[in-house]
Amino acid sequence: MTRQRTLSLRNWAELFVLGLIWGGSFLAIRLALDEVPFVTSVAHRVFWAALILWAYVAWRRLPLPTGRDWAVLFVMGVLNNVIPFSLMAWGQLYIPTGLTSVFNAGTAIFGVVVAALLLADERLTTRKAVGSLIGFFGVATAIGLDSLRDFDVTSLAQLAVIGGTISYAFAGVWARVHMGHLTPQVAAAGMLTGSSIVMVPAALIIDGAPSFALSPTTFAAIGYYVVFATAGAYLLYYRILKTAGSANTMIVTLLIPPVSILLGSWVLYETLSPNVYVGLGLLAVGLAILDGRLLRRS
């Protein structure tokens, strides 16, 4: 059994920085959507971030993908960027940014279940089953009984965001099976390139040529989620993953919602119903059970 790594002070600092960056991305995306259609918004995100990461790869002189790797990276781009970025951006048109981030926190829950279904060495143990079940209750609670009973565009937007988190879960399995031999920076750059191959033509067909007659706020929002929340965040995420391990890195999913909720409240004057906070609490309990350290200490 692999021993749980201990988080250093630097790891904790990096996790909080990553939580702040990704927590702010939900606000930035919503601000950009006031002027930019959601498909074009995603195209901006993946295209410019891919250029930044390829510049980093060239600077570091990292080995490039070869042959079949490009097909693997294309699929990864669809699963990890095209589907979740598009579904979540569209969903944010109809639901608060804070609620979107709460649903996003369920990624680890869905990831455990999908991995158990598709990977032979990822058995759904009793602990994992209990943690996943509590996490699912958390997601259902955050959705609320009213949304389940009175189905409308808001309900559809919530399901779209949850669909994005499920796509992230499949992406995690795909990466584990097919991408272990690639350096993380090259994998991220290649994945975003595959995403751009899909999203740039889709944006041109659906939305037409992008307009750059945008407000300073929109330019700042796009710049933030391209430079910091995508290109920079991927580099930081993989650095933490390498030094702290996947279980510790999962902690970031609980740091993101409070940041997003506060920013949504301060900037957009969003309010969330009490069931959202209860759902987030259940998600936190489910993730703690999946992590297992609190249970071992008790």
DSSP result, 191-259: HHHHHHHHHHHHHHHHT-SPP----HHHHHHHHIIIIIIIIIHHHHHHHHHHHH-HHHHTTHHHHHHHH
* DSSP three-state, residue 119: coil
pLDDT at 230 over 90: yes
pLDDT at 242 over 80: no
Helix or strand (DSSP H, E) at 46: helix 38-60
pLDDT at 169 over 70: yes
pLDDT grade for 193, boundaries at 50, 70 and 90: very high
pLDDT grade for 2, boundaries at 50, 70 and 90: very low
Would you state the pLDDT for residue 162?
94
- More confident site: 73 or 67: 73
Q: What is the mean pLDDT of residues 24-49?
A: 97
- Mean of the per-residue pLDDT values of the chain: 88
Q: What is the mean pLDDT of residues 190-209?
A: 97
Q: What is the mean pLDDT of residues 75-83?
A: 96
pTM of the model: 0.90
> Which of 48, 27, 45 lies closest to 217 in space, CA to CA?
27
- Backbone Cα Rg of the chain: 19
CB atoms within 10 A of CB 167: 24
